[in-house]
Chains A and B, each alone.
Chain A
């Protein structure tokens, strides 16, 4: 990961749904390795930022580069964990089936996963602590387990950059610890992990760097420099109740029990 170009670089990115702009002129550059949080109120465009970077929603303007190159050239180096609610968990697939989907990109058209892929999928499941649930239908898992399945699917992508959309939303404490431990390992291995996160109280203790987003980029950089009362006020200005709670959390040093 010694390349000169940053792992993720957004330049002047603007996104609109129909005529309604949801993100304005975002400039953001993040280097590997690291654990980076994208934080902001509901409807601030955090998820949209990830989707725009991945080309899932069209850019109204701006450019996105991964490792200094356009997405199409480096897709194999990028892992993605969508929001859990975006899929139907009643779908007739097993845990292992879903994790194997992480190998499809590398397999290409019409080739089926074989023993090597199955082994990688089992290893990923082991890493998230779900090895014994491989054969279970995905609807018969808890929310936290489902989220870990999604993480395992991204792990088999063996990417250098991971983009995760709210991986800790509605997740039990045990799953949260496990997920966070895996993300921490990914960072230790030299990768960049970008996480859309809604909970400011945990952000300060988990992330190296954060971006505060509220339809535009309010601030980005190391946690200590970004999570200041002024920046938080600018980000959450329209959300006074949240702000109140945050004020108390920040006073306690970002640590809650």
Chain B
């Protein structure tokens, strides 16, 4: 599959695809985070494992398109289950999400264990979908993933105005005639698709981190959606490529954990040094405010007869 000298063509294609997937994850994840659907994507992500194994059992094939089609079906089913649980029981959002996540992931693990216990031929490698493994990707698979990622980014770019409106003020959106439920379904479906596209790189357990950490990090650096979205994409790209490169350098290290750790590194750095919202900036602002207050109190104590500040306290 790979040539011994230099960087093999296949590795380059996979790296480019991983970059595209990381970028798309940050872009779509931005709206997941802004619309407060981060945990929902986690439930969908954990459900994909069962979908991958079920697709293999049903078709006997283990090519990437078949397995990811199964993963997507499972993610959509999980989201449907979430809607049903919320509507027909009085379970709250977080509990319903936890139920769907746990049950669907348990099912996936059980199916996977059943397959390996019976030694079903050709099942090797399915466990890579748990934590991510890009080394086995073919150039064709990688190209398809990159294309799907690009399409997802294009859709978000097209609907940037609509998605922002619904995420910020769904009541106003509905009152002005926008089909809020439809836009929400589109967003959630897009997130499910994104989780599936990110599956080979980050795995069912960790792909959510790739969708959630970059937007949250980007938010620390900017106050505008129009900046946050591409910035989250860039951070996702760096995390994905950095993670895959690290994992390639260490034998038997899955890609999911390294991607997440790189993303977490960028987040930690941002948490401290980001302007305005970063820890240092907020601390400096608090100290400045305290100093200004002390200054005013001192001035007030010094001259009781001075006129009161018209702006009040």
Contacts and interface: CB of A to CB of B under 8 A. Distances in A.
Interface of A: 51, 54-56, 72, 75, 78, 80, 82, 86-88, 91-94, 97-98, 101-102, 104-105, 107, 109-113, 137, 153, 157
B175 to A, nearest CB: 4
A20 B158 CA distance: 41
B167 interface: yes
A247 B222 CA distance: 51
B161 A105 contact: no
Most buried by A among B159, B223, B225: B223
B171 A56 contact: yes
Contact of A109 (B162, B169, B175, B219): B162
A21 to B, nearest CB: 19
B224 A101 contact: no
Interface residues of B, number: 24
Given A92-B222, A92-B224, A93-B224, A87 B168 contact: yes
A98 B158 CA distance: 19
Given A75-B176, A97-B225, A111-B161, 11 more contacts: A51-B171, A75-B177, A82-B169, A91-B168, A92-B222, A98-B168, A104-B162, A105-B176, A110-B158, A110-B161, A112-B161
28 contacts: A54-B174, A55-B175, A56-B175, A72-B177, A75-B176, A80-B171, A82-B171, A82-B172, A86-B169, A87-B169, A91-B34, A91-B225, A92-B224, A92-B227, A93-B225, A97-B224, A97-B225, A101-B168, A101-B172, A104-B176, A105-B176, A105-B178, A109-B162, A110-B158, A110-B159, A110-B162, A137-B223, A137-B224
Contacts of B34: 91-92
Contact of B174 (A55, A104, A109, A111): A55
Contacts of B175: 54-56, 78, 80, 82
Contacts of B174: 54-56
B111 interface: no
Nearest to A88: B168
B165 interface: yes
A204 to B, nearest CB: 29
A56 B165 CA distance: 16
Contacts of B225: 91-93, 97
Nearest to B177: A75
A159 B225 CA distance: 27
B176 A94 contact: no
Contacts of A93: 164, 168, 223-225
Interface string B148-185: 00000000001101101101110110111110000000
A55 B176 CA distance: 10
Contacts of B223: 92-94, 137
A94 B224 contact: yes
A78 B225 CA distance: 27
A98 B167 CA distance: 12
A75 B172 CA distance: 12
Contacts of B222: 92
A138 B52 CA distance: 44
Most buried by A among B165, B176, B223, B224: B176
B177 A101 contact: no
Contacts of B167: 91
Interface in B186-227: 219, 222-225, 227
Contact of B172 (A72, A80, A109, A110): A80
B228 interface: yes
A6 to B, nearest CB: 20
Nearest to A51: B171
A97 B167 CA distance: 13
Interface string B225-236: 101100000000
Most buried by A among B161, B172, B177, B178: B172
A29 to B, nearest CB: 21
A74 to B, nearest CB: 11
Nearest to A137: B223
Nearest to B157: A110
A66 to B, nearest CB: 12
A157 B175 CA distance: 12
